[in-house]
Structure 1
């Protein structure tokens, strides 16, 4: 028991200890803090290494700075081998009881459990302690699978949790951590690197490439292959490579099946669909449906996939043809998601609008283009937006050096200023 308590003590805020906090992600911590002081379970989800652990520790540290006794914080990270002895929710409950016996915390205890999906039956622990009316708990958990709160668990915890998707660094956060100025060049540097927090403490391209490769291997092996008993691991990885190198392109499952068959790879529609679904569940890629702007409904069939972080493209598969325009479109998608929008690919007869984004009553249409180098290019990019008959906001986003005047109510935004209008 002493060894187990020593592991707990090592990673907690007791006795003046402050675990590594990383770069403060104020947008997330402010948003999550708005939901504190109640019995709602705060759930952070997102890709491995996107920064969930740092944010949990930042929230704990902020609670302490606002008067919470450090000994009322209980933090574990199931990614750490020191906590391998926690196999299921009963082990977790035993450790919590040990902590309470040793520290005798008075009042509400704040439970922070990182990568909780690695604790078998964790939902029983969370459900029980979130509703405990004898001892007071407030619970913050994180996980790396989008299905963590689906099915029976969603029913079990219905109405008693709030979900936050954690994405890699935004451009503004990139500027903050690198001390760069907001400019076209710093935006291109951001686009050509990656935005996972640990990348910013690694010394060179080679170590960054190895780090990104290790993340990819860990997610595919531990979160997909082992969990779903995948029969063809090589096919799974090849599908991931395909999605990375076709990000921002319209594709369908049938297209992908035909691609693999043309390369003499045996597969089926159902297998590919399942494998892509598993990859989506880990947040490595995001699927975006097409949306009929006139009919106001989604369209089945073709869709687009965007990568959760461009580091997978930049460090692992840079040799494939993939223009800067596609990377820009990928970054715009991620920025819209960070700002809380539901995002679709717009379709209207023979025209495509890159993004239809909705948040509450606000709807915006965006076209993404590398540069509007001449009048013909500008005309092509503005045309789909001009064809839309409603009065919602319309933007063209590009990397042009100068900001162009408004055209028929359509505004031009330089990509590095996009966050300001969302």
Structure 2
């Protein structure tokens, strides 16, 4: 069981009864495992078992979920007076009346509350409690965690392995490709069925999967519903723009894909349409396209984007730069190049970065680079394999 040390550190910093800790991310990325690791940590610190309470809402019947007042009573009876109670609510979004339920729970002054969720829309439902929330995003294992788990060096060979195995925890010790594909098929299909059920939308699994396949094959290219309609029509799959727009939203809401919108630097406004979509994990792209993960510009750009998201950046696309990344009121302009073989290619790669004001944060990231470069000291350069394992805590 891989220890998610970064997330555990974040949870430890906000421990206490004051905050509601919300652990969110795509299905099977390790949220429940993280809760168990928190429980183990509490026990090691001397917290008694009767102070730790775990409820998995996905295992409750529909009737139980509808009667949330009875759930409140059940939980209240288990609480130990005059001691801090640690309450873990796994997959709470199964419940319809979440804000009212949580408001009743937090009336107890001695509860440290942890909950998990698998959709962005669930966070919107928690808006009435926004001032009390701490959001802890969890993604599949990063390249750095992959290297650590498999005790491999951070080099191109290991990066190729990561692009093919991916970061879902279960997949790390599965050596049979068919078993891994069946597992990803379960992750994808369960995510869609649950996602449609929560949205109250009629489910067309075939069309949704065809859309996901199309999106996975368009890495690095802007996509909107009209373009998706045109792309699917070419392979004989008719659909309306309205339907595909709904399904695109669902793919993003369930964290299967992350949208990257274009930022207009002239107005500093985000364009609402024509976003690029990146899969949450490289194995998901392989599963959908039925292709191996290769060391290509598009695959590595997707990996770079997800790593920026993992490090807490708000990431945007732009015609002049690979990415523009904002974090802690600091903006970084990033250019990614697969290979730089000579001085001319280097100068081309940093041309847009050089044109920025001196005080701007700039970063050139490359997979391969020649040794003969005369580098510009104003533009830091990193090898992708080194950058991916840098300690960049949120």
Is contact 1:342-1:359 (8 Å) kept? yes
Counterpart for residue 98 of structure 2: 122
Is contact 1:41-1:139 (8 Å) kept? yes
Is contact 1:76-1:83 (8 Å) kept? no
Counterpart for residue 413 of structure 1: 382
SS in 2 for 1:230: coil
**Unpaired stretches in structure 1, ≥5 consecutive residues:** 1-21
Q: Select which of 223, 243, 257 maps to 2:229.
A: 257
**Unpaired stretches in structure 2, ≥5 consecutive residues:** none
For the aligned residues, what is the CA RMSD? 2.5
Is contact 1:193-1:314 (8 Å) kept? no
CA distance 1:231–1:171, change in 2 (3 Å): closer
- Decide which moves more: 298-307 or 325-334: 298-307
Counterpart for residue 281 of structure 1: 253
Q: Select which of 39, 54, 65 maps to 2:18.
A: 39
SS in 2 for 1:219: helix
Equivalent-residue separation in structure 2 for 1:122 and 1:299 (angstroms): 32
CA distance 1:231–1:378, change in 2 (3 Å): same
Is contact 2:368-2:383 (8 Å) kept? yes
Q: Calculate the TM-score normalised by the size of structure 1.
A: 0.84
Counterpart for residue 48 of structure 2: 69
Structure 1 residue 106: Cα displacement? 5.2
Q: Select which of 142, 154, 163 maps to 2:127.
A: 154
Structure 1 residue 140: Cα displacement? 0.3
Counterpart for residue 48 of structure 1: 27
- Decide which moves more: 119-128 or 48-57: 119-128
Equivalent-residue separation in structure 2 for 1:235 and 1:82 (angstroms): 30
SS in 2 for 1:312: helix
Structure 1 residue 316: Cα displacement? 3.9
Counterpart for residue 353 of structure 1: 321
Paired residues in the alignment total: 389
- Decide which moves more: 118-127 or 41-50: 118-127
Q: Select which of 196, 201, 213 maps to 2:173.
A: 201
Equivalent-residue separation in structure 1 for 2:198 and 2:101 (angstroms): 24
Structure 1 residue 125: Cα displacement? 2.3
Counterpart for residue 28 of structure 1: 7
Structure 1 residue 177: Cα displacement? 1.0
